[in-house]
Amino acid sequence: DAKTTQPNSMESNEEEPVHLPCNHSTISGTDYIHWYRQLPSQGPEYVIHGLTSNVNNRMASLAIAEDRKSSTLILHRATLRDAAVYYCILKTGANNLFFGTGTRLTVIP
Amino acid sequence: DSGVTQTPKHLITATGQRVTLRCSPRSGDLSVYWYQQSLDQGLQFLIQYYNGEERAKGNILERFSAQQFPDLHSELNLSSLELGDSALYFCASSVQGGQGEAFFGQGTRLTVV
């Protein structure tokens, strides 16, 4: 399975934007980039996914580099509820989600 | 609420015992996945079923088995339990197992003593 690299942890002030980076230099043409997050004591939660173009939804935006070797999850205004571990995952077709270690986001009030 | 229901929420059992974890997927979802999350291993994919058939296997021990029933609910059976099997077990479901999002349950916390 293609590998992703994320920082172990990041901090953000409440109500400020957060940019969570992910490197995936071995991504293949058929890999989609998925982001999930896991809040404390909960199961993982889907955030967003994309292939080549930038994507927006009610939770976040996903910016994908032109060469697709990296991507950035953008939370436009961090809230305390956004404190979680964020996972960047490459997924091909019906293959499963293989979770790495993710980035632990701390939101400072 | 993801729509995926896992029971029980907590389970405490002794080494050597056998337990069954149950998962009811979201209505209409054909794919069910099982994951194990322990402190030192992170989220590990165990197994996937699609419409009653096993589709993919991950790091699932031979002591563990699963099945998906005609009503699409799934059970994960863990036998000859060891202390190291203590973990959170998550079930997820998705419509077809493609690029769509997967919905995770709240997990079953298994403690083996």
What is the 3 state secondary structure string of B77-96?
Answer: EECCCCHHHCEEEEEEEECC
CB of B60 less than 8 A from some CB of A: no
Q: Residue A82 is which amino acid?
A: D
Residue B77 to residues B47, B59, B103, Cα–Cα distance (Å): 12, 15, 21
Structure token pair of residue B15: 């080494």
The per-residue pLDDT for A2 is 59
What does the pLDDT profile of chain A (109 residues) look like in tens digits? 558 999 999 999 999 999 999 999 989 888 899 999 999 889 999 999 999 999 999 999 999 999 999 999 999 999 999 999 999 998 876 677 888 889 999 999 9
d(CA B45, CA B31): 14
**CB within 8 Å of chain B, chain A residues 70-89:** 87
Q: Which of B56, B96, B104 sits opposite A96 (nearest CB)?
A: B56
Geometric angle at alpha carbon A90, from B43 and A82, rounded to 5° = 60
Taking CB atoms and an 8 Å cutoff, what residues of chain A touch B96? 94
Q: Do B92 and A94 touch (CB under 8 A)?
A: no
Q: Do B104 and A43 touch (CB under 8 A)?
A: yes
CB of B49 less than 8 A from some CB of A: no
Q: Which of B42, B90, B107 sits opposite A101 (nearest CB)?
A: B42
3-state secondary structure of A51: coil
Mean pLDDT, rounded, for B10-27: 97
The per-residue pLDDT for A30 is 86
CB of A94 less than 8 A from some CB of B: yes
Q: Is A92:A30 a contact under the CB 8 Å cutoff? A: yes
